[in-house]
């Protein structure tokens, strides 16, 4: 199938749902899925975004801005992973624990709002990775329209660009908890430290690309800022 054939299949699959709650993180895949769902189902779509200490505020604000700009009803749900039994210990099935709790909450919201289905944005490339969260997807009856339409990441980027989505070239992002090796205890303080460090790097990247500072000065300033952050811990 061509990429356009796959998009047509995606639209048909989404229309068949009748209505859907999309798990929306403002990433490349979920943004594309949400926009495709809106095209297929109009106002019979809601976006559900989780707010937690492992989800950077910048991502949450981007999610809010996208929904507001596109006239999509968005519901923010508190999903504090650190309260999940066993999550802080960072086991290998950490993502399963998180996704199971999150999708249970999204299903509740979907039913409260008369939605027939819950959809998430995994794609064909995820089939070859270690993704324990997909077990929760299967157990809870969450649909994966991008995988069902055989769409891979690069194809999603191309289609996103064709749709004029700002995320078409956005870097891939995983939750902040993924920065820690399995078995290392996760805490709110550690997550906050990682979030601040990554924000520093992103801000400096934007300054360098914007010509405000040189790459050399940018690296020096960023290192100084990170050292200050480490000293403050």
pLDDT in tens, 89-130: 999 999 999 999 999 999 999 999 999 999 999 999 988 777
State CA 58 to chain mean position distance: 12
174 or 94, greater pLDDT: 94
CB contact at 8 A, 75 and 46 = yes
Q: What is the DSSP string of the chain?
A: --HHHHHHHHHHHHHHHSSEEEE--SSHHHHHHHHHHHHHHTTSEEEEEEE-TTS-HHHHHHHHHHHHHHT-EEEEEE--GGGSTTGGG--TTHHHHHHHHHHHHHHHHHHHTT-SEEE----GGGGGS--THHHHHHHTT-B-HHHHTT--HHHHHHHHHHTT-TTTTPPP---GGGGS-TTSPP-HHHHHHHHHHHHHHHHHHHHHHTTSS-HHHHHHHHHHHHHHHHHH-
**pLDDT at position 148 over 50:** yes
User: How confident is the prediction for the chain on average, in pLDDT?
Assistant: 89
Residue 170, token pair as written in the block: 């956005």
What mean pLDDT comes out for the span 129-151? 93
Q: How far apart are CA 5 and CA 94, in angstroms?
A: 36
Please report the pLDDT score of residue 214 as a whole number: 46
Q: Which residues pair with 46 in a beta bridge?
A: 21, 73
Q: Tell whether pTM > 0.95.
A: no
Please report the pLDDT score of residue 1 as a whole number: 87
**Given the structure tokens 């109009």, which residue do they identify?**
42
What mean pLDDT comes out for the span 208-224? 53
pLDDT interval class at 213 (50, 70, 90): very low
**pLDDT at position 6 over 90:** yes
Lowest mean pLDDT among 18-27, 41-50, 203-212: 203-212
pLDDT interval class at 135 (50, 70, 90): very high
pLDDT interval class at 227 (50, 70, 90): low
């Amino acid at each position: 199938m061509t990429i356009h054939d796959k998009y047509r299949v995606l639209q048909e699959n989404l229309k068949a749902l009748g209505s859907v709650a999309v798990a929306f993180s403002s990433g490349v895949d979920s943004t594309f899925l949400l926009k495709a769902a809106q095209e297929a189902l109009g106002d019979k779509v809601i976006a559900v975004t989780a707010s937690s200490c492992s989800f950077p505020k910048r991502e949450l604000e981007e999610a809010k801005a996208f929904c507001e700009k596109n006239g999509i009803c968005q519901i923010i749900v508190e999903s504090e992973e650190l309260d999940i039994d066993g999550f802080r210990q960072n086991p290998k099935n950490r993502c399963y624990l998180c996704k199971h709790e999150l999708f249970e909450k999204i299903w509740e919201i979907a039913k409260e709002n008369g939605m027939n289905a819950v959809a998430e944005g995994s794609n064909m490339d995820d089939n070859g990775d270690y993704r324990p969260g997909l077990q929760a997807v299967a157990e809870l009856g969450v649909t994966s329209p991008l995988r069902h339409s055989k769409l891979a990441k690069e194809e999603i980027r191309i289609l996103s660009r064709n749709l004029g989505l700002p995320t078409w070239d956005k870097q891939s992002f995983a939750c902040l908890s993924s920065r820690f090796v399995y078995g290392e205890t996760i805490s709110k303080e550690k997550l906050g430290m990682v979030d601040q460090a990554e924000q520093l790097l992103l801000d400096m990247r934007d300054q360098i690309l914007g010509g405000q500072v040189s790459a050399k000065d940018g690296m020096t300033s960023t290192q100084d800022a990170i050292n200050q952050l480490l000293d403050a811990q």
